[in-house]
């Protein structure tokens, strides 16, 4: 499938449930992962709130899927919103103890940051109350 057809397919699939900026950003992250980073089996997934990518970074470990969540550098994140993101991702059929933020800056460059959730620690927000 050509990139143009892929974008059209994404628009048809997600335009009624997600904002255009989310669709375009997911597409940009896809292009970066597939063509520049050479990741494998990159697939679009979604839930009610976001479009994310499911991918294998290294074929030597094909069972190690990565979840990449596209976002803008201007996005506002809090501990609570990240916690909600983990709770959302825990409903996926894979073991999700981490995810990667694909952050697109204003100059269109993309940086990747992995966030992990250690279930062995107490909740720092609730432990302060």
Residue 34 belongs to some domain of the structure: yes
Domain that holds residue 67: 3-117
Residue 127 belongs to some domain of the structure: no
pLDDT of residue 128: 43
Mean pLDDT throughout 2-25? 92
- Round to whole Å and give the CA distance between 118 and 103: 22
Please tell me the pTM assigned to this model. 0.79
Q: How many domains does the chain have?
A: 1
Q: What is the DSSP string of 85-108?
A: HHHHHTTSSS--SEEEEEEEPTTS
* 103 pLDDT above the threshold of 70: yes
Residue 24 belongs to some domain of the structure: yes
User: Which CATH number covers residue 25?
Assistant: 3.40.1350.10
Residue 39 belongs to some domain of the structure: yes
């Amino acid at each position: 499938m050509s990139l143009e057809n892929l974008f059209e397919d994404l628009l048809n699939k997600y335009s009624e449930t997600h904002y255009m900026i989310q669709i375009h950003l997911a597409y940009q992250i896809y292009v970066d992962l597939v063509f520049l980073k050479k990741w494998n089996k990159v697939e679009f997934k979604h839930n009610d709130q976001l479009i994310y990518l499911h991918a294998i970074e290294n074929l030597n470990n094909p069972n190690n899927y990565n979840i990449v969540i596209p976002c803008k550098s201007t996005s506002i994140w809090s501990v609570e919103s990240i916690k909600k993101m983990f709770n959302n991702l825990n409903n996926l059929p894979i073991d999700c103890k981490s995810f990667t933020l694909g952050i697109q800056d204003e100059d269109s460059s993309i940086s990747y940051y992995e966030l992990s959730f250690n279930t062995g620690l107490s909740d720092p927000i609730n432990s302060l109350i």
